[in-house]
Amino acid sequence: MDLKSYLAERTDRVDVALDYWLPAETLLPLRLHQAMRYSVFAGGKRLRPILSIAAAEAIGGSIEQVLPAACSLEMIHTYSLIHDDLPAMDNDNFRRGQPTSHRQFDEATAILAGDALLTEAFRLLADAEANRGVAPEKILQVIAIIARGAGSLGMVGGQAVDMESEGSEVDFPTLEYIHTHKTGALILASVQAGGCLAGADRDQMKALTGYGESAGLAFQIADDILNIVGDQAQTGKASGSDQARGKATYPALLGLAEARQRAEELCVRAVAALDPLGEAARPLKALARHMVNRNS
Amino acid sequence: MDLKSYLAERTDRVDVALDYWLPAETLLPLRLHQAMRYSVFAGGKRLRPILSIAAAEAIGGSIEQVLPAACSLEMIHTYSLIHDDLPAMDNDNFRRGQPTSHRQFDEATAILAGDALLTEAFRLLADAEANRGVAPEKILQVIAIIARGAGSLGMVGGQAVDMESEGSEVDFPTLEYIHTHKTGALILASVQAGGCLAGADRDQMKALTGYGESAGLAFQIADDILNIVGDQAQTGKASGSDQARGKATYPALLGLAEARQRAEELCVRAVAALDPLGEAARPLKALARHMVNRNS
């Protein structure tokens, strides 16, 4: 399959929908809405939305069914980046080559833009018009899936342990906790949300969950590796910044070769988990390989 | 009616429910969950939960129907206080006589505890077990009401304009925008959420909305007045701190006497709006008077 055009078509659908659903820059408070849109349209790859769409398609669902959830996942991902970049957290001045929110605006605006994006994500999930034709019970299930993946037992929990561990020796279980929570939990939630909205049965959800768990961790290991060997012009991040900051990473703990092997193994496992879903899961499989072998 | 015992009984129900639904301090990450609970159990008056309960009761609904929404409103209120207190925002070291979250823990933990409480609020709203017996369409409506009241067109929007306006001349329309959004929007949402869950019809929702709009603004004006004339030992805030910071307030713009009169007028209007609901709305009416005439 042609993954490039698959991604391009879906990225486009997601971008159009995000632009449609996000509050306009002409609405008060202008600066807050500008800041929300600045970060959402800062060149993200829309991985989480596309994963939720591909998961729905793997079950025979449509893009339309899953588009509000897809956009809400991107809003949540974006808010997490804005807050992670803050001076009290990773203190990053640039992301994808552009000033981070608190540098482009100010710290208060960045905090509030993140808060507003997180809130808007749930507003959109509950929006009756956006979700016309989808059963309310299913939407509630998806809200619970996404909130759990994003909250203190998921993404925020992973970030909290990451912050606590900075600069200290981290053992392997702690590193795995950070990675499976900070990045893995929202990726898993994206896949599960897509499956749930498309009406996945128990076995199908099990396949998607196995995929999401392995692919999410593989993605973060690939991210760690890219931070060392990646081309700064492509990744938009200073090479070696994790190491300079004393961040816990797979390459730091296992070495580069073993980290690569681990990512590869997880990718194989993610792909194998989808076998019960047949041909319809081909894009999802290609996405897992792409997540591990990307260069930005 | 005996408002004191009415409040005490409902505060107790809300506290027990919050304790039950919030992640335990023994769950990883410990520090994050400690920080979430530290701020939720820092002596809040549970005004928003009780407003949602009283609104449900005014329509003939029960506490049980509205308890998850009531707790989620308190989580959202608490997260907003944690973020408002941050150095980049109001830079407050104490709240209700205790160290603020970033002083008790650290800034990163305070940001993340706020993020996690906001997320947990929506997880709880969508929790199937907590909401057993409530129609999913109603829950989705309530999520939309609360998210709108808490987001960029509500509470967060009001805080954004408040931050932008600090230290500069603020005209009356801007001040009213700040107050109706920063405080009023979530109070209105609390009342509407309670009504919605209890099955309010169109006219009943109109009465509750009229009440919520007036009571919310009256509450904030009373807050402004307390900041000037209140006893620091009772309010837990330094007297005159708004003025020192150049905050836009009603007394600063209108003078104390006119601000008091405005609060009183709004209180009368709030109470009158409930007349169509009859006897069942008595606690809600008493709450409006209490919100304006409190001393802490």
Nearest chain A residue to B107, by CA: A88
CATH number of A3-207: 1.10.600.10
H or E stretch covering B98: strand B98-99
The answer to whether residues A292 and A261 touch, using CB atoms and an 8 Å cutoff, is no
pTM exceeding the 0.90 threshold for the entire prediction: yes
Instruction: Indicate whether A277 pLDDT > 80.
Output: yes
Q: Enumerate the residues of chain B whose CB falls inside 8 A of the CB of residue A140.
A: 126, 128, 136, 139-140
Give pLDDT, residue A274. 98
Q: What are the pLDDT digits (tens) for A38-82?
A: 999 999 999 999 999 999 999 999 999 999 999 999 999 999 999
Using the Cβ of A141 and the Cβ atoms of chain B, whether some distance falls under 8 Å is answered with yes
Q: What is the pLDDT of residues A135-184, one digit of tens each?
A: 999 999 999 999 999 999 999 999 999 998 887 889 999 999 999 999 99
CB proximity A111 to B under 8 Å: yes
Domain boundaries, chain B: 3-212
A109 part of contact set with chain B, CB < 8 Å: yes
Q: What number is the average pLDDT over the span A259-274?
A: 97
- The pLDDT of residue B242: 77
CA–CA gap between residue A48 and residue B52 (Å, rounded): 35
Is a pLDDT exceeding 70 seen at residue B236? no
Q: Is A108 on the interface with B (CB under 8 A)?
A: yes
Predicted ipTM > 0.85: yes
The verdict on A258 touching B (C-beta cutoff 8 Å) is no
CA distance A139 to chain B (A): 8
Nearest CA in chain B to A34: B152
Whether B230 has a pLDDT exceeding 90, the answer reads: no
CA distance B120 to chain A (A): 6
Q: Does B103 touch chain A (CB under 8 A)?
A: no
pLDDT value, residue B229: 87
Cβ-Cβ pairs closer than 8 A, A with B, add up to 164
Pairing of strands B94-95, A98-99: unpaired
**pLDDT tens digits along B133-168:** 999 999 999 999 999 999 999 999 999 999 988 878
Q: In 3-state terms, what secondary structure has residue B99? A: strand
- Say whether residue A174 is in contact with chain B using an 8 A CB cutoff: no
| pLDDT score at A188 | 98
pLDDT greater than 90 at residue A247:
no
Task: Compute the average pLDDT of residues B79-90.
Answer: 97
pLDDT band at B248 (very low <50, low <70, confident <90, very high): confident
Residue B108: which of A89, A107, A120 has the nearest Cβ? Answer: A89
The answer, yes or no, to whether residue A238 has pLDDT greater than 80, is no
Tell me which of A33-42, A250-259, A277-286 is least confident: A250-259
Q: Which helix (H) or strand (E) holds B95?
A: strand B94-95
The band of A229, judged by pLDDT with boundaries at 50, 70 and 90, is confident
The per-residue pLDDT for B13 is 98
Interchain pair A140, B140: CB under 8 A: yes
The reply to whether B88 touches chain A by the CB within 8 Å rule is: yes
B141 and chain A in contact, CB less than 8 A: yes
Q: What is the pLDDT of residues A178-203, one digit of tens each?
A: 999 999 999 999 999 999 999 999 99
Q: Report the mean per-residue pLDDT for chain B.
A: 94
Range A117-133 average pLDDT: 96
Q: Is the pLDDT of residue A235 over 80?
A: no
Residue A237: its pLDDT value, please? Answer: 64
Q: Kindly report, residue by residue over B24-72, the tens digit of the pLDDT.
A: 999 999 999 999 999 999 999 999 999 999 999 999 999 999 999 999 9
Give me the CATH topology for the region B3-212.
Answer: Farnesyl Diphosphate Synthase (1.10.600)
Please answer yes or no on whether B156 and A119 come within 8 Å at the CB atom: yes
**pLDDT greater than 80 at residue B220:** yes
Q: Above pLDDT 90, what percent of chain A?
A: 87
Give me the residue from B23, B111, B148 closest to A152, CB to CB.
B23
Instruction: Give the tens place of pLDDT for each residue, B102-125.
Output: 999 999 999 999 999 999 999 999
Decide if A140 and B119 are in contact by the 8 Å CB cutoff. no
pLDDT of residue B233: 65
* pLDDT at residue A168, as a whole number: 84
